């Protein structure tokens, strides 16, 4: 009996051991399966392609590489073909001379000192308008309008009478003075010397007076119509001159120390980038623009070929500091975001790491680096934005957010 019990106990122990062994095998298999599931593959150039086994990218055909989002490494690794495909270029950081400037958004505006308001010197009726549209260019001496004025005819008759009396009594200075006074009245009514001389010769009065353009310009406004009666001094039209034109630019108050009245700045007008001009700052607004936090600076430039028009966009460059030994990088090498600026440094063969930097002056091509990289280090000059985008896609967020 005891022998049967012992034999049964041995069988039970053997069964328990076998069950335990099977459970361990299942657990090991499950762990191995979970580990295998964690290993995924992706395309270096198209991170949206994710696979659980090696293969080729269906978009570009590149071999898929192991990929694990749980990898917290603060770097990217790219092979030479991947760098070529991504147009990733690098260069060694060096020092050299550097001139910075600040670019301001500007625009062209009419110079009011070259605006002529044409007004009637006498009361009368607009008999003819020779220019009826705005935007029409006129030349100095070109007829603008003709007015009928009875008062003008009376002044002409007065001049003829005074002339006859002065001729009849040449020794009497009083008649000579009256003749000169009547002549001056005609000149004040915008009669030219030639017209006065013609009146003296022909002895015929005319109630019509033709007004000529006082200068070259563009008709900006026409305020009357033919047949309209106007009073003495009434505005007829305005002419805008474009020999010189204003340049106005926007400036933040914090940047006001960069410029002062009398400084020379560079101006480039949109569409005429190959013809930059020098401008002297003539005015800095003492108050901010209404509804904004911007100051206005102003100067004027010559309109060399009469091609510039009010409303055109311009860029004003304020000169900055000149440095003989500055660490500079191409503008595209530095990425700016809400946390600051960073660059991509190649720390090993095909290994790229982001690094925060402090920037200084800047011009159209180069930006000064005051700290963060040292001469001799290799920095990505082209393709930095591509590396940042891929880093975010692969790692889930930019490591620069931790700084």
Torsion of CA 352, 357, 362, 365, to 10 degrees: 0
If you average pLDDT over residues 246-257, what whole number do you get? 89
Whole-Å CA distances, 131 to 120, 138, 160, 192, 307: 15, 9, 32, 21, 22
Taking a C-beta distance cutoff of 8 angstroms, is the pair 382, 88 a contact?
yes
**pLDDT tens profile 169-215:** 888 888 888 888 988 888 887 777 888 888 888 888 888 888 889 88
Residue 68 maps to a domain: no
Query: 341 or 391, which is more confident?
Result: 341
Q: Do 233 and 147 lie in a common domain?
A: yes
Query: Which CATH number belongs to the domain containing residue 133 in this structure?
Result: 2.40.50.100
Q: pTM of the prediction?
A: 0.55
Q: Do 133 and 209 lie in a common domain?
A: yes
Q: Do 210 and 154 lie in a common domain?
A: yes
Question: How far apart are the C-alpha atoms of 253 and 154, rounded to whole Å?
Answer: 61
The domain containing residue 352 runs over which residues?
76-100+321-402
If you average pLDDT over residues 12-36, what whole number do you get? 50
pLDDT-above-70 percentage for the chain: 85
Question: How far apart are the C-alpha atoms of 364 and 368, rounded to whole Å?
Answer: 12
Query: 364 or 396, which is more confident?
Result: 364
Domain count, the chain: 4
Q: Do 123 and 212 lie in a common domain?
A: yes
Residue 46 maps to a domain: no
Residue 5 maps to a domain: yes
116 DSSP 8-state letter: E
Please say if the pLDDT value at position 127 is more than 80: yes
Residue 48 maps to a domain: no
If you average pLDDT over residues 296-316, what whole number do you get? 90
């Amino acid at each position: 009996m005891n022998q049967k019990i012992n034999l049964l106990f041995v069988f039970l122990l053997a069964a328990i051991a076998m069950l335990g062994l099977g459970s361990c095998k299942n657990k090991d298999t499950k762990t191995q399966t979970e580990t295998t599931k964690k290993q995924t593959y992706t395309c270096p150039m198209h991170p949206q392609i994710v696979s659980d086994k090696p293969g080729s990218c269906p978009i570009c055909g590149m071999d898929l590489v192991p990929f694990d989002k749980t990898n917290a490494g603060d770097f990217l690794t790219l092979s030479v073909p991947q760098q070529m495909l991504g147009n990733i270029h690098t260069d060694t950081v060096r020092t050299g001379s550097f001139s910075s400037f600040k670019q301001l958004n500007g625009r062209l505006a009419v110079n009011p000192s070259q605006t002529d308001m044409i007004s009637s010197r006498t009361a009368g009726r607009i008999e003819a308008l020779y220019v009826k549209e705005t935007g029409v260019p006129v030349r100095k001496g070109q007829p603008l309008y003709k007015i009928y004025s009875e008062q003008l005819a009376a002044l002409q008759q007065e001049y003829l009478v005074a002339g006859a009396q002065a001729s009849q009594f040449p020794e009497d200075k009083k008649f000579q003075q009256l003749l000169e006074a009547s002549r001056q009245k005609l000149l004040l009514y915008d009669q030219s010397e030639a017209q006065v001389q013609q009146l003296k010769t022909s002895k015929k009065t005319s109630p019509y007076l033709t007004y000529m353009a006082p200068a070259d310009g563009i008709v900006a406004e026409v305020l009357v119509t033919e047949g309209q009666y106007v009073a003495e001094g009434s505005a007829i039209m305005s002419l805008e001159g474009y020999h010189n034109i204003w340049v106005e630019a926007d400036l933040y108050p914090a940047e006001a120390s960069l410029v002062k009245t009398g400084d020379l700045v560079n101006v480039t007008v949109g569409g005429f980038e190959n013809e930059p001009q020098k401008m002297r700052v003539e005015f800095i607004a003492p108050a901010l623009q209404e509804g904004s936090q911007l100051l206005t600076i102003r100067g004027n430039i010559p309109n060399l070929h009469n091609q510039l028009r009010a409303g055109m966009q311009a860029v004003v460059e304020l000169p900055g500091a000149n440095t003989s030994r500055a660490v500079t990088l191409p503008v595209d090498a530095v990425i700016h975001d809400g946390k600051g600026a960073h660059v991509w440094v190649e720390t090993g063969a095909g290994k790229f790491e982001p690094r925060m930097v402090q920037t200084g002056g800047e011009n159209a091509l180069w930006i000064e680096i005051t700290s963060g990289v040292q001469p001799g280090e290799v920095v990505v000059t082209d393709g930095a934005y591509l590396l940042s985008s891929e880093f975010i896609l692969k790692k889930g967020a930019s490591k620069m957010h931790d700084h």
